[in-house]
Amino acid sequence: MRMRRLRRSEPLRALVRETTLNPGDLIYPLFLCPGQGVRREIGSMPGVFNLSVDEAVREAEQAAALGVGGLLLFGLPESKDEQGVGAWDDNGIVQQGLRALKASSASKKLVLIADVCLCEYTSHGHCGIVKECDGGFDVENDATLELLARTAVSQAKAGADIVAPSDMMDGRVAAIRRGLDAAGCSLTPILSYASKFASAFYGPFREAADSAPQFGDRRTYQMDGANLREALREIELDLAEGADMILMKPAMPYLDVVRAARDLTGVPIGAYQVSGEYSMLQAAFERGWLDRDRATLESLLSMRRAGADFIVTYFAKAAARLLA
């Protein structure tokens, strides 16, 4: 047997290629901020911007023209408070963005996904309500659930095609499903960040979304990076609570988790190529240490090969251009 027989030309290689990557597999995250004509580049994420709603619509139209599958929306509110009121404000930044995007031609081609969490809106930067206890603090699980459900309902009413809870509170999928159904949004799907690990690779995102915790860290709710079996239990629980699709985060350092999830369940699976994965590659590109085009596509292909149906990536537009 000579395995090299099938590698002799690009048409041959294309014929026997096992994994595909298409622009429609890619979800493009956008960070919405107040104002008009604002396009502020994020220092640690070259090519990624805080965008006012009008600029976000322009960005969405470009993404739609390139065949990108959808958008994942995050918000930087005008002001923050202890509870994160801006998250469920019907006139909040993401809700404004959703209405504008829904009214644009881009929405006919793009799935609009709204991130559901409180950390971008709370003054302390945690994903839930914070209570002092025993000289320290605790993020209150059950009190947070109602606020998450309220946020998801508000986003669905503003035009979100999918809501995506990223907070990692226990029971949030069930609470959001109940909230959506009670509000007449029974057809809005939930994409749960089922296994979200407490990762150093989120670093640049915190600059992008201005969401760094002001004290402590997120290890009491996000998962320990050492645990695969626990990730599968999280997935099973979210599915039992009514998640329609699941998202795995981060992607490249956790491809074994994506594969295990694929083997566990038939529901659609997404992988989130997080900010640190993007910034790390960008830094290498800038130094000329990696071939930009090939490394971009190879990083995304690895996630499809591991079993992800779609990928959330800051490279969405660039990769779609390469795939055209």
Q: How far is the CB of 186 from Zn ion (least distance, A)?
A: 26
Structure tokens at 28: 């493009």
Give the span between the Cα atoms of 24 and 203, in whole angstroms.
27
- Comparing CB distances to Zn ion, the nearer of 117 and 245 is 117
Q: Is 157 a catalytic residue?
A: no
Rank residues 202 and 310 by Cβ distance to Zn ion and give the closer one: 202
Question: Residue 102 catalytic?
Answer: no
| Burial tier of 318 (Cβ tally within 10 Å: 0-12, 13-18, 19+) | middle
Task: Give the phi and the psi of residue 156 in degrees, each rounded to 5.
Answer: -60, -40
Smallest distance from Zn ion to CB 119, Å:
3
CB of 266 to Zn ion, least distance (A): 28
Task: Tally the residues of the chain.
Answer: 324
Beta carbon of residue 125, minimum distance to Zn ion (angstroms, whole number): 8
Q: What is the spatial distance between Cα 37 and Cα 14, in angstroms, rounded to a whole number?
A: 43
CA dist., res. 301 & res. 295, Å (int): 10
Nearer Cβ to Zn ion (144/279): 144
Q: Which of 80, 108, 196, 317 is catalytic?
A: 196
Token digits for 258?
């994506």
Torsion sign (Cα): 194, 99, 26, 202: negative
Q: Is 87 in the site for Zn ion (CB under 5 A)?
A: no
Is there a contact between 81 and 159 (Cβ–Cβ < 8 Å)?
A: no
Catalytic-role residue among 102, 109, 131, 249: 249
- Are the C-beta atoms of 260 and 220 separated by less than 8 Å? no
Give the other-Cβ count within 10 Å of 161's Cβ: 20
- Give the nearest distance from C-beta 115 to Zn ion in angstroms: 8
Closest to Zn ion by CB, 117 vs 239, is 117
Residue list 110-139, contact with Zn ion (CB under 5 A): 117, 119, 127
State the Cα–Cα distance between residues 122 and 144, nearest whole angstrom: 12
Smallest distance from Zn ion to CB 162, Å:
17
Q: What angle do CA 113, 85, 117 make, to 5 degrees?
A: 35
Considering beta carbons, is residue 45 or 119 the nearer one to Zn ion? 119
Q: What CA–CA distances, in Å, run from 167 to 15, 132, 175, 221, 247?
A: 42, 19, 13, 8, 12
By annotation, the residues acting in catalysis are 196, 249
- Footprint of Zn ion on this chain (CB under 5 A)? 117, 119, 127
